[in-house]
Amino acid sequence: MLERATNQPPVNPNVNVKEERPDSMWRETWKVFRKNKLALIGAAIVLFFILLAIFAGVLAPQGINDQNLGIRLRPPSGKYWFGTDDFGRDIFSRILYGARISLRVGFLSVLGSIIAGTFLGIIAGFYGKILDTVISRIFDILLAFPSILLAIAIVVILGPSLNNALIAIATVNVPNFGRIVRSKVLTLKQEEYIMAARSIGMKDSRILFHHILPNSLAPIIVQGTLSIATAILDAAALGFLGMGAQAPHPEWGRMLSDSREYIQDAPWTVIFPGLAIMLTVLGFNLLGDGLRDALDPKMKN
């Protein structure tokens, strides 16, 4: 046995031995995500509308506010793909530019909600005691109101406009992110590596930004994707009620409101803005469901 062991070829220290490394979280997430066909369809829909919004200036055949009463309420045709509205404006061009407005409201309002909700949720979960009680009660009060009614109340106070609608939608969604982050922080701060970091004297700010926050990103991303769909719906609802985007902005909800008198005589004025809202919300919902399945370990198993 000793002789066989002695006859083993020597190990060359200059030879690089490749070790198999486990996939990173994001690579593993992508592997799971791409197997979900509905999630890929949702991502394709979202990407499609984002591209429409970016290249609206190139794709739009007409100006969004070019009026021609001689062609008002024209049905869809080769020249006017989605027909014209009651002012003779090209509906297809207005829907393209409306994608910019709806997506901007969706992304910016959710970004504001994420920043405010994450900040409050981390403070409440990490420091606890009085801060946790006060912040949690604020969340409970905001969640006690139906989201659209609370958004309407905020817009009434601030005044009807697109920017105020964005602020209202962001405010309504803050408790959703705050409660998710708070519950995640309460779990993470009991982990051994957090207790070890505290025992060696690591500052709270370093613990929060280098350990707590990175490990809380998965639920934030999922909730953020789903909240964009809700924000677009809320923006359309506020626009329909005259509390969001004001004329002549081509916001989809506002377009529905302006065309409700022509549902029977010119149904295309309502159908195409409604389809745009439906498809965009559907895309973000499918994408959010796919991300939830890919990022949640329980769903993976």
Taking the C-alpha atoms of residue 214 and residue 206, their distance in angstroms, rounded to an integer, is 12
| 116 close to 266: Cβ distance less than 8 angstroms | no
169-181: pLDDT as tens digits = 999 999 999 999 9
Taking the C-alpha atoms of residue 95 and residue 256, their distance in angstroms, rounded to an integer, is 11
pLDDT > 90? residue 296? no
Residue 65 lies in a domain: no
Residue 30 lies in a domain: no
CATH code of the domain in which 277 resides: 1.10.3720.10
Residue 134 lies in a domain: yes
Which candidate, 252, 244, 242, places its Cα nearest to that of 276? 252
* Residues whose CB is less than 8 angstroms from the CB of residue 56 and which lie 6 or more positions away in sequence, other chains included: 96, 97, 99, 100
Taking the C-alpha atoms of residue 115 and residue 118, their distance in angstroms, rounded to an integer, is 5
Least confident of 52-56, 119-123, 194-198, 290-294: 194-198
Residue 27: band (very low, low, confident or very high) from pLDDT cuts 50, 70, 90: confident
Looking at residue 297, what is its pLDDT? 54
Domain that holds residue 85: 79-300
124-165: pLDDT as tens digits = 888 878 988 999 999 999 999 888 899 999 999 999 988 999
- Tell me what percent of the residues of the chain surpass a pLDDT of 70: 89
| DSSP per-residue letters across 129-196 | HHHHHHHHHHHHHHHTS-HHHHHHHHHHHH-SSHHHHHHHHHHHHHHHHHHHHHHHHHHHTTSHHHHH
Looking at residue 24, what is its pLDDT? 65
* Residues whose CB is less than 8 angstroms from the CB of residue 21 and which lie 6 or more positions away in sequence, other chains included: none
Residue 256 lies in a domain: yes
User: Mean pLDDT over all residues of the chain?
Assistant: 84
Mean pLDDT of 108-136: 91
185-235: pLDDT as tens digits = 888 877 777 778 777 877 777 777 777 888 788 888 889 999 999 999 999
Taking the C-alpha atoms of residue 137 and residue 140, their distance in angstroms, rounded to an integer, is 5
255-264: pLDDT as tens digits = 988 888 888 8
Residue 27 lies in a domain: no
Instruction: Give bridge partners of residue 144 from the DSSP assignment.
Output: none
Residue 100 lies in a domain: yes
| 96 close to 59: Cβ distance less than 8 angstroms | yes
Taking the C-alpha atoms of residue 147 and residue 289, their distance in angstroms, rounded to an integer, is 21
For the chain, the domain total comes to: 1
- Tell me what percent of the residues of the chain surpass a pLDDT of 90: 40
